[in-house]
Amino acid sequence: MADIYASYPSLRGRSVLITGGATGIGAAFVGHFARQGAKVAFLDVDDAGANSLLGTLQDVAHPPLFLRCDLTDLDALHAAIAAARGHLGLIAVLINNAANDVRHALADVDAAAFERNVAVNLRHQVFATRAVIPDMQQLGGGSVICLGSTGWMKKNAGYPLYAMAKAAVHGFVNGMARELGHQHIRINTLVPGWVITEKQRALWLDAEGEAEIARVQCLPGYLMAEDLARMALFLAADDSRMCTGQDFIVDGGWV
């Protein structure tokens, strides 16, 4: 089945760094890039998930590198990026994927919870991007892919700080596109709808959720992590050389 989808020769041997790559959407990114022949490193705190993923990718040309890293610790983030660079070479593609859409009410949010949400969903995207820009400058170009969300676009209830942080990701991408573009570095937002991962199945995909998908999505069926990964491949490859500062929405017509 995988053979019916696009192959990107420009990704072979290209160094790709992915945050939050052990499970869910991130794991799909890791697997798809590795099977395109890219050299992949991914950051996560889920040792079991990472090791399980690595076990499925032993046959690829460049087995991925897992680096355990708490992305809310900026010193640890910078150290992990340096380790990835040491293993892969200069970073050509960064996918800022890690996030947590934990439900919360504004009445329950204190200053610590606010800072934690920004650290988990926004801050690491900014500082990881900052850290790899010199690599891409040396390479003569690169691609940064920041994960956004349709959650704030649809005015969904239940996670106001997550929505705030994801809206800010879009602002960051728009704010950097011209500056980076002059250096042949592309930066885009990859915007998922309701992606049915194992976490979503366990926590929120009930009969009401099924009905909402049927009612709201234009296309029938589940939106899967693989659908996001295929768009990420395009945005990382030379095929998208004139695409920057854009929202690439993959949501089955949710918005």
d(CA 140, CA 53): 32
CB 20 within 8 A of CB 66: no
| Per-residue b or e along 202-238, where b marks 16 or more CB atoms closer than 10 Å to that residue's CB | eeebeeeeeeebeeebeeeeebebebbbebbbbbbbe
Q: Considering 5, 8, 159, 162, which one is annotated as catalytic?
A: 162
Identify which of 109, 115, 125, 101 has the alpha carbon closest to the alpha carbon of residue 43: 125
Exposed/middle/buried for 127, CB within 10 Å: 0-12, 13-18, 19+?
Answer: middle
Q: Looking at residue 33, what DSSP letter applies?
A: H
Q: Is 222 a catalytic residue?
A: no
Strand stretches in the chain, DSSP E: 15-19, 39-44, 65-68, 93-96, 142-147, 185-192, 247-250
Q: CA 194, 160, 169, 71: dihedral to nearest 10 degrees?
A: -90
Catalytic positions, please? 162
